[in-house]
Structure 1
Amino acid sequence: MITVIGLGFVGLTTALGFAEKGFTVYGIDIDEKKVNQLIEGELPFHEPHLAEKLKYHLNNNFFITDDLQHASSTSELIIYCVGTPNDKNGKVDLSYIFHSLEQTLSLQELKDKYRLLLIKSTVPPSTLETKIKPFVESFNVKIGKEIGIASNPEFLREGNAWDDFINPDRIVIGIDEEDKKGFTLINKYYKPFHSPIFSVTPNTAEFIKYLSNTLLSTLISFSNEQSMLAHTLGNIEIAKAFEVLQLDKRWFTTDKSKPVNMAKYVYPGCGFGGYCLPKDTQALLTLNKELQLTPSILEGVVLTNQKIKTFLLEKIKKEVDKEEVIGILGLAFKPNSDDVRESPSKEFIEKLYDEGYRNIIAYDPLAINNFKSNFNYNIKYAKSLHDTIEKSSTLIVLCQWEEFILQKDRLKEKKLFDFRYCLGY
C-alpha cells in the first residue's frame, strides 16, 4: 500500500497513477476545500484525464482520508508531494516537508517495520543529505533499517501529466546504495511502468530535476533574446527562422520523422511562466550565489525573461493608441491548463494598465475564473473568442490555444500581435 501526502497537481497525479497500476493508495491533504471537492469526485484544477481517473478509482483503490495514522501504518511507501515555494529571496521554503515528516515520524506505528519515505517535492541539491536526513534521525530512527529515505523527482508537464506519469521516459531514485530494502520496494512499485529506473545518490537525483527545468528555461530565454535582435534588425521572419532551425538533423531521433520534443522550447514567445520553471530557476540561481559561485547564464535567463515582456510592450506602445480596445488572448501560462501562476498575461495586463491602457478585454478557454480569483484587475472578460474579436480593435496572443490557431484568419482581420508565433507566417 501507498500513502501520498499532498494532493495537488503532482500528488493527485501520483496517487491516481499508482492506483491505475493496481495498488491501493491513500491520499492526504490539509486543504479542507480541496479534500471536499475530491471526495465529491471533482477536480480542483484542470488537468486532462485526471477527472475521469478520479471518478473511476475513488473508493475503489484510491481512498482520501484524514487518518494519517491508519494510512501510514498500513503503507510500505509514503510519498511526499507537498509544496516547496520560494521565499522573497528566491530560497526554497522546506517548512511543508518538515511539517509533514514530523507528523509521520511522530507515529509509533511507523517503527514496527521498514517503510520508505519518498520525497517527490522539488528541493535543491543536497537537501535530503544535509537537511532532511538529520531531521529524520532526530526522531531516533535508524535510516536504512527502520526507515528508508529517498528522492524521487517528478517530470510532469501541466496538460500532459497523466501520460507523463503512466508512460515515463525515466524514473530517477536518489537512494543510498546500502539501502537494499528501499531499492527493492522502489522496483516493486515502479516495475509496472516498464521504464528505466536510474538509481543515483540523493544529491544527483535532486540535481537532475533542476538540470531539467533550468535547461528548458534557458532554451526559452535564448530564443527570446534572439527574437529581440530579430525584431530590432527587421525584415526577419522570426517564426520561420526558428522552425527552419529545428530541421537540423541533430534535433531528431533515429526516426527522422519524429522531432525531439525538447526542440519546441527553442522557440520565441513572451517569456516562461507557470509554477516550476520560474521557481526552480530562481532557486538554483539563489543556491549558486549562496555558494559564492557566479551563475552568469542563469542570471541572464531570469533577466531575459523579464526583458522580453518590456521589449514587446514597447512594440505595442508604438503601434496602439491608448483609447483602443485591446483583446488579450490567453490567460493561462500554457495551453490545456487553467494555471495562471507567473502567467505572462498577468505582467502584460499590469504593464499595459500602468502605461494608461484602460480598455482591456481578456479571454481564455479555461483560465478566466482562476485569473479573476487570483488577480483583481479592472478589466473586462469575454465569454467567447468571437466576443473578444468583435469588441477589440487590437488583439494580443499570449497563449497558443488551439482555438486561436484554428481561428487565425479571423484574428488577422484585426491589428494583431502574435507574441507566441503560433499563427503562421
Structure 2
Amino acid sequence: MRITVLGTGYLGATHAAAMAEMGFEVMGVDVDEAKLEALAAGVLPFHEPGLGELVRKHVESGRLRFTSDYALAGEFGDVHFVGVGTPQRAGSYAADMTFVDSAVTSIAQHATHDAVIVGKSTVPVGSARRLRALAKDNAPEGVDVDLVWNPEFLREGHGVEDTLRPDRMVLGLPGHGSTGDGDRANDSRLEAILREVYAPQLEAQTPLIVTDYETAELVKVAANSFLATKISFINSLSELTEAVGGDIRTLADAIGMDERIGRKFLNAGVGFGGGCLPKDIRALRARASELGLDQSVRFLVEIDDINVRRRDHTVGVVTDMLGGSIMGRQVAVLGAAFKPESDDVRDSPALDIAARLHSIGADVHVYDPKANANAAKRYPRVDYVDSLPQAVARAEVVVLLTEWDEFRSMTPEQLAPLVKTRQILDGRNVLDPVQWEQAGWTYRALGRKG
C-alpha cells in the first residue's frame, strides 16, 4: 500500500516520516508551498528531536515526497491519513473543523481508486460519521472511499518514538456501536487494512482497541482532560502548601506512591499549555454544551481557571520577591516553550508570564534554547537573548519557567557572578532548594512557603 498524509504540521510530518521509516512509500500533502519546499529539503518548520534526521533520510531514499496537488495524492495513495489542525474557533471554545472538512473533501474528490481515509486529527465527537458521509458523497462514481478513526497520542518532544512505538492504538470503525451501520464485513475489511499498515507495532504487542467512531473520537480529548485535571489538582493543592508552609513535592511523592494515582503529571508549577491540552478541554466543554450536557463536564471550567490562575500567581510571587515594586526591575525568564524539547509557544505559560511581567513594567530578558524565534513572533516586545549568561546578567530575580535540561543542571555558583541579586523562582520545582539556599540564594518554588 501507498500512504498519503494530509497536513504536514507537527502531527502530519511526524506521521509521514514514521510511515516511511516503516517501509511505505509516503506522500505528504499540504497547501503551504513554503513549508513543502522546506520539508523536501529536509528542513523542519518546528523543533522535534530526531524528526529532522528521519525526514532527510527518507527524502533522500525516495520513500518520502511532498506535494500540494490533491489530484496527484488521490492517484497515489491507498490509505490517506488526515493530520490537519483543529484550532479553537475564533470567538468560541469549539474546534474549527474547516481544515479537516477541506482535506477529506479534496482527497475524496480526487480518489482514482478505492481508498481508506484515516482520521488522526482531534475532532469533536460525532464528526467521523459526518466526515464519512462527506467522503462518500464527494468520491467519484464507482470509487469506494471509506473512513476509519485512529486518534494520535503524540507527546511533543517524543513524537517519533510515540509513532513508531506507541503505548496503545485505537481504531474507530463505522459498523461498531449502537449508531453504527451494522456492516461488520466492511469493518473487518477496514480493520485488516489498518492492521497491515501497523503490522510492526502490532507485532511488538502494542495493545489495539477496536471500537466505534464515537469512542475513538473521545479517547484523545478524554485523556488530555484527565491529564489536565491531574495538573490542576496538584497546582490547586500547591496553593495550600505554599500558604501553610508545606512542601508540594513531598506531598506529590506521597500520594503518587498510591498505584491508583501514580506520580506522573503531579509536578506542581506554572501549569499546562501547548496546542492540545488547553484547546481540547475547551472543545470538549463546547461539544458537551451542544449536546445539552454542560453539567457533565462542568469541572473542566475550574480546571482551566486553576491553570490560568497559576500565571497570575507566579507574577505575584516575582513581584513579592522584588519587594512589591516591579517597574524597571531586571527579570531573567528561563524558558518560552510550553515544555522542554519543543519550540511550541502556543498557550505557553512561560511566555504568558514573561509578557505579563513586561506589561507591568519589568525589564524582562527571555532565553529559550529552541523557542526564542517563535516567542518573538507571538510577543515581540520583550528582549530575547541567545544564552543563559545573557539572560541572567544583572538580574534581580531569575525565573525558571520551562524545565530544559540546561536549566535543570545549572548551578548557583555558575549564576552567582552574573546576577545582581541572588534570587531564583523555580516555577517547575526541578531544582534542589538546599543546594541553592546553602549557596546564599533566596530560593522560592511554587508550592513551598517563601
Query: Is TM (by shorter chain) over 0.5?
Result: yes
- Cα distance change of structure 1 residues 406 and 15 upon mapping to structure 2, 3 Å threshold: same
Shift of 1:62: 0.9
| 1:7-406 map, 5 Å | 7-59=8-60, 60-87=62-89, 88-107=91-110, 109-110=111-112, 112=113, 114-129=114-129, 131-139=130-138, 146-177=144-175, 178=184, 179=186, 180-194=188-202, 195-233=206-244, 235-250=245-260, 263-293=263-293, 294=295, 295-320=297-322, 321-322=325-326, 323-357=328-362, 359-377=363-381, 379-406=382-409
Q: Percent identity between the aligned chains?
A: 30
Query: Is residue 108–residue 145 contact of structure 2 (8 Å, CA) maintained in 1?
Result: no
TM-score (norm. length: structure 2): 0.86
Equivalence for 2:439: none
Q: String of CA shifts for 1:360-419, please: whole Å, max 9, x gaps.
A: 111111111111122222x22222112222331201111111111111434774211111
- Cα distance change of structure 1 residues 389 and 274 upon mapping to structure 2, 3 Å threshold: same
Shift of 1:246: 2.2
Runs (5+) with no aligned partner, structure 2: 176-183, 417-421, 434-450
Shift of 1:224: 0.8
Q: String of CA shifts for 1:270-318, please: whole Å, max 9, x gaps.
A: 0100000011011001112222321221111011111111122222222
Whole-Å separation in 2 of the counterparts to 1:121 and 1:40 = 26
- Cα distance change of structure 1 residues 210 and 411 upon mapping to structure 2, 3 Å threshold: farther
1:64 aligned counterpart, secondary structure: strand
Whole-Å separation in 2 of the counterparts to 1:354 and 1:373 = 17
Shift of 1:228: 1.0
Shift of 1:65: 2.1
Equivalence for 2:430: 422
Whole-Å separation in 2 of the counterparts to 1:33 and 1:220 = 37
Aligned CA-pair RMSD: 1.9
TM-score (norm. length: structure 1): 0.91
1:41 aligned counterpart, secondary structure: coil
Query: Is residue 228–residue 311 contact of structure 1 (8 Å, CA) maintained in 2?
Result: no
- Cα distance change of structure 1 residues 71 and 318 upon mapping to structure 2, 3 Å threshold: same
Query: Is residue 269–residue 420 contact of structure 1 (8 Å, CA) maintained in 2?
Result: yes
Q: String of CA shifts for 1:198-241, please: whole Å, max 9, x gaps.
A: 111010100111111111111111111111111122x2122232
Shift of 1:33: 1.4
Whole-Å separation in 2 of the counterparts to 1:175 and 1:137 = 15
Equivalence for 2:179: none
Shift of 1:245: 2.9
- Cα distance change of structure 1 residues 140 and 62 upon mapping to structure 2, 3 Å threshold: closer
Query: Is residue 338–residue 367 contact of structure 1 (8 Å, CA) maintained in 2?
Result: yes
Structure 1 range deviating more: 201-210 or 366-375: 366-375
2:93 aligned counterpart, secondary structure: coil
- Cα distance change of structure 1 residues 115 and 33 upon mapping to structure 2, 3 Å threshold: same
Equivalence for 1:255: none
2:191 aligned counterpart, secondary structure: helix
Q: String of CA shifts for 1:48-70, please: whole Å, max 9, x gaps.
A: 01011111101521111233223
